Structure 1
């Protein structure tokens, strides 16, 4: 809170050196602010990697003495004196990853935005469109995992409940014990998921998904980009879906009832 107060009370700042000298905030916070784009307007002609490089130079000169920092301010570090180092600008996906890592949420884009091309190819259903589907309809959904629960149940079997956010809404999927043989590790490990299952309707507005397979969406996307052939990816996915359905055949109803 003290550092926020220092920043607000010191505004406006003419450049990064002025900000560092007068705001007097810690190095990690300055670096995080740069990565998040909070200081972009101080030097609009260079990118965030350049700003980090410039800040490292300022930090080297600052030392324990304010006189050293004053020298840095007077040594040509104004906005007009800074030029690009040639370092590449952060990509939009890198910016979003920084936002998620530092803030816990995506600000400039939804994470799923970077996978729309693959999702279109696979015919993935948006969360906003789930209510248009009939019960028992097979489908693919995708999104950022925002919740995972595996509460104890009377039968003693493990059931995993996940919620995915795709930017249009949330979808809820349930994975019973048999389906976790192939997808359990992915459900726990991955933050971006593609899920195959069937629709379960429970009234006019009630809809959930009985999941049978899950994949790490970022890994699938990377493999698709590398091969350029969606048919290969579809074939691999269909194989896993068939294996999962065979191992789970005749068991979904029993598990659902006992849960």
Structure 2
């Protein structure tokens, strides 16, 4: 996907799809979390990888899908800085669920699914200011020895 994104304009909306190969949610000084995801669309080498960044204001729509699913369809704005191309994500969907909908009901079923609102239920009912709190329901994964 990187090959096609590298030809995108500096500011443009783009859907990207692929298998999640990496996800990171490093702590920030502000206390908010930013989710960094790399997807691979199956193309040869690095050309098939695209980097996505999801800021805190998108977590309600995207975090659960990004953390819990392997095949992702994401939408965002292409950001180019020199040779580096990143998609600033606004929405993420479970690509397997979309494929299953297509198999069961064709294009109409996919469109119906994509027109449904997405919400991350792990953060349901919490105010934006409460998201800084660590603990149950947090949006990042911690491994042994990890500060997060």
* Same fold, TM-score > 0.5, yes or no: yes
1:194 is aligned to: 73
User: Over aligned residues, Cα RMSD in angstroms?
Assistant: 1.9
**Which protein is richer in helix relative to its size?**
1
Say which SS state the counterpart of residue 171 (structure 1) adopts: strand
Once the two structures are superposed, what CA deviation does each residue of 1:216-258 show, in whole Å capped at 9, x if it has no partner? 111110001111125x5335435648x9xxxxxxxxxxxxxxx
Please give the alpha-carbon distance, in whole angstroms, between the structure 1 residues aligned to 2:112 and 2:7: 27
Q: 1:233 aligns with which of 81, 106, 110?
A: 110
Asked if the contact 2:41–2:49 (Cα under 8 Å) also holds between the matched residues in 1, the reply is yes
Please give the alpha-carbon distance, in whole angstroms, between the structure 2 residues aligned to 1:238 and 1:133: 26
**Which protein is richer in strand relative to its size?**
2
Asked if the contact 1:174–1:211 (Cα under 8 Å) also holds between the matched residues in 2, the reply is yes
More contact order relative to length (CA 8 Å, sep ≥ 6): 2
Asked if the contact 2:2–2:85 (Cα under 8 Å) also holds between the matched residues in 1, the reply is no
TM-score (norm 1): 0.42
TM-score (norm 2): 0.71
Matches within 5 A, 1:23-62: none
2:32 is aligned to: 157
Instruction: Confirm whether residue 134 of structure 1 aligns to residue 13 of structure 2.
Output: no
1:209 is aligned to: 87
Please give the alpha-carbon distance, in whole angstroms, between the structure 1 residues aligned to 2:69 and 2:11: 26
Please give the alpha-carbon distance, in whole angstroms, between the structure 1 residues aligned to 2:4 and 2:115: 23
2:100 is aligned to: 222
Please give the alpha-carbon distance, in whole angstroms, between the structure 1 residues aligned to 2:111 and 2:30: 35
Distance 1:165 1:213, change over 3 A: same
Report the number of matched residues.
Answer: 115
Q: 1:179 aligns with which of 58, 61, 65?
A: 58
Say which SS state the counterpart of residue 227 (structure 1) adopts: helix
Gaps of 5+ in 2: 120-148
Once the two structures are superposed, what CA deviation does each residue of 1:139-164 show, in whole Å capped at 9, x if it has no partner? 11011101000001111111100000
Please give the alpha-carbon distance, in whole angstroms, between the structure 2 residues aligned to 1:234 and 1:131: 28
1:167 is aligned to: 42
Asked if the contact 2:101–2:113 (Cα under 8 Å) also holds between the matched residues in 1, the reply is no
Gaps of 5+ in 1: 1-125, 244-259
Please give the alpha-carbon distance, in whole angstroms, between the structure 2 residues aligned to 1:129 and 1:219: 25
Runs of 4+ in 1 over 3 A off after TM superposition: 238-241
